[in-house]
Amino acid sequence: MQSSATFNIFLPIALVIIMLGLGLSLKLHDFSQVVLRPKALLAALVVQILVLPVLCFGIVLVSALPPAMAVGMMLLATSPGAPSAVLYTHLAKGDTALSLTLTAINTLVALVSVPLITNFSLLHFYGAGHVIPLPIDKFLQFFALLLVPASIGIAVRHRYTALADRMESPVKLLATLFLAAVVLFAVVDQWEVIVAWGPVVGFAAFAFNVVSMAVGYAVPLLLRLERRQAVAITMATAIHNAAFVIALALSEYLLNNAEMAIPPALYALIAYVTAAVFVAVLSRSGRHSIEGTIRP
């Protein structure tokens, strides 16, 4: 199966808009939270960079996925949190500043972690004679596609605050629509593969999502972090950047393997539903807490 011209054109545009929307949400002050709350930041980074890939590798082995989809799952595990994780954090009344900072830092960390996990996964699941080359120059260009629009958004926010305030909501809405369209196109384009492998891949994606959410919420609470910080870390670890992985898998200059895009497409659909349930449960428990405080 080959990636289509629609993906090669549409995905870069979608990623630019998504990252521009993220940049418009960021203030330079937000990055100072890295210094002010290092415990929460370090806990989240350890979970995302070290714990999740190991857990995902275990799930992939148990699920006995075909090589391409196994690599797609591993790419998902090492990908940064999605910009939509910030939105879910806000809806759940979590620490939005921490969520924004995590997304930005993880995008930078992914410059190192994604190539390492990608090459390890290709070597393990395909073997030494079947490793797909991953050109570093093309990979850096791909990340520039992410970081440049985000930097522009930050600069606009810093220099033209009023303009950024007016642009933020429309760009966020457009970014959300583009993200949904990316997932939808991936599902439609690979429908036959989804039907054939959906039960197995769907189970692996669901299991990884539940594990990511559980670990993302449990670790901060065990470390006695604030509940708002636990919510932000949960969303960052559970809602991976599916558009990023799909683009990486389908790019003719990078992996150029459409089957690798199936797990992230399915995962995105699952993650949005489970995250919505998570937000609803937290909102309900929050209302009950308030009612209990008011009652004599």
Strand-pair partners of 240? 81
Domain spans in the chain, listed from the N-terminal domain onward: 5-281
- What mean pLDDT is predicted for residues 144-170? 80
Q: How confident is the model at residue 102 (pLDDT cuts 50, 70, 90)?
A: confident
pTM, two decimal places: 0.75
* Long-range pairs, 30-35, Cβ under 8 A, ≥24: 30/97, 30/100, 30/101, 31/101, 31/104, 33/97, 33/98, 33/101, 34/101, 34/105
Quote the CA–CA distance of 176 and 164 in Å, as a whole number: 17
Is the pLDDT at 85 greater than 90, yes or no?
no
What DSSP assignment string belongs to 143-185?
A: HHHHHHHHHHHHHHHHH-HHHHHHHHHHHHHHHHHHHHHHHHH
Provide the pLDDT for residue 135. 57
Sorted by sequence, the CB contacts under 8 Å of residue 157 that are 6+ apart come out as 23, 24, 25, 26, 27, 164
Strand-pair partners of 81? 240
Q: List the beta strands (DSSP E) in the chain.
A: none
How many other C-beta atoms can be found within 10 angstroms of the C-beta atom of residue 13? 12
- Mean pLDDT (the chain) is 78
Share of the chain above pLDDT 70, in %: 75
- What mean pLDDT is predicted for residues 77-83? 82
Is the pLDDT at 48 greater than 70, yes or no?
yes
Backbone dihedral angles phi then psi of residue 81, each to the nearest 5 degrees: -65, 150
Q: How confident is the model at residue 230 (pLDDT cuts 50, 70, 90)?
A: very high
Q: How confident is the model at residue 35 (pLDDT cuts 50, 70, 90)?
A: low
- Of residues 78 and 247, more confidence is placed in 78
The CATH number given to 5-281 is 1.20.1530.20
Backbone dihedral angles phi then psi of residue 240, each to the nearest 5 degrees: -80, 160
Q: How confident is the model at residue 74 (pLDDT cuts 50, 70, 90)?
A: very high
